[in-house]
Structure 1
Amino acid sequence: MTYSEKIILSGDYVIYRDEYGLWKLLSNGVTFSLVDLSDFRRVISLLEMPIESVKLALGLDFPYMSVVEVGLRHDSDYWIKLAISWVAHSSVQEANFLVETLKELSTDKAVSQSNRHLAIKELKRLLNS
């Protein structure tokens, strides 16, 4: 198997692009396609790495904002905070489609106050650009 672009999440997880240009996750000998938003739950741990490092490893064509969206929609404040961090380190063009999700987060009382404030901060950045 040849990996044109890959990142190793741990010893058991590899994200790569196959010969057809499709993103895949190889985990313990099982391959999963990364196509639908729900597929990106499998790679949410990417959020624990700086987005710049992930972009260096996977290139600019990886659907980073799908990982961010999964994190923003997660019920854990931990993943929400990491996803907002990726938004903060993304261009307005990359993250602009997340405005509605950030609006929802900014008013959701189930989300921590600090994450609501971070969502508001990113909303202002995206809307005022």
Structure 2
Amino acid sequence: MRNYLVRFSLDELNICRDELGGWHLEGHDLSFPLVEASDFKRIISLLETPVEVAKAALGDGFPYVCVVEAGLNHDSDYWIGLALSWVADVTARDASQLIKQLKILSTDKAVSQKNRQLARKEFKRLSNVDS
């Protein structure tokens, strides 16, 4: 295993930041870079951690919005709900990335009524911040 500046344990894997600022998911004999949006599906269980705990461990440089997007784009209402609970902590700069998905979720009948309402609430809030 390499030397990392930041390390956060997630199940039996670690989310790590290297000296160059790159994020990785590391385990016993495996390593995955966290670069593309699809890479963050591997760490979707981070959404089960309170956002304050994740931020205290990973710091401000972690791309939290990518994990939130992975949750919002998931087929499971469970992950959507957890992602929605993190939306309020996404930076205003990153919020614009979520507006389209929140609008879609707010009207998607396959999503629970609770999550549709939360998506609608966050969509309105972020739309007002964006303008």
Q: Distance in 2 between matches of 1:37 and 1:110?
A: 23
Amino acid at match of 2:47: L
Q: Partner of 2:8 in structure 1?
A: 7
| Aligned residue pairs, count | 128
Q: Distance in 1 between matches of 2:102 and 2:71?
A: 11
Q: Distance in 1 between matches of 2:108 and 2:29?
A: 39
- 1:77 aligns to 2:114 (yes or no): no
**Runs of at least 5 residues in structure 1 that lack an aligned partner in the other structure:** none
**Runs of at least 5 residues in structure 2 that lack an aligned partner in the other structure:** none
- Report the identity percentage: 55
Q: Which moved more, 1:87-96 or 1:46-55?
A: 87-96
Q: Partner of 1:113 in structure 2?
A: 113
Deviation at 1:55, TM superposition (A): 1.1
Q: Partner of 1:98 in structure 2?
A: 98
SS of structure 2 residue aligned to 1:128: helix
TM-score by length of 1: 0.93
- Partners of 2:64 and 2:90 within 8 A in 1: no
Q: Partner of 1:123 in structure 2?
A: 123
Q: Distance in 2 between matches of 1:19 and 1:128?
A: 37
Q: CA RMSD in A?
A: 1.2
Q: Partner of 1:49 in structure 2?
A: 49
Q: Distance in 2 between matches of 1:26 and 1:70?
A: 19
TM-score by length of 2: 0.92
Deviation at 1:66, TM superposition (A): 0.4
Deviation at 1:95, TM superposition (A): 1.9
Deviation at 1:103, TM superposition (A): 0.3
Q: Partner of 2:27 in structure 1?
A: 27
- Partners of 2:14 and 2:26 within 8 A in 1: yes
Q: Which moved more, 1:19-28 or 1:78-87?
A: 19-28
Q: Distance in 2 between matches of 1:21 and 1:6?
A: 12
Q: Distance in 2 between matches of 1:114 and 1:66?
A: 23
Q: Distance in 2 between matches of 1:21 and 1:91?
A: 19
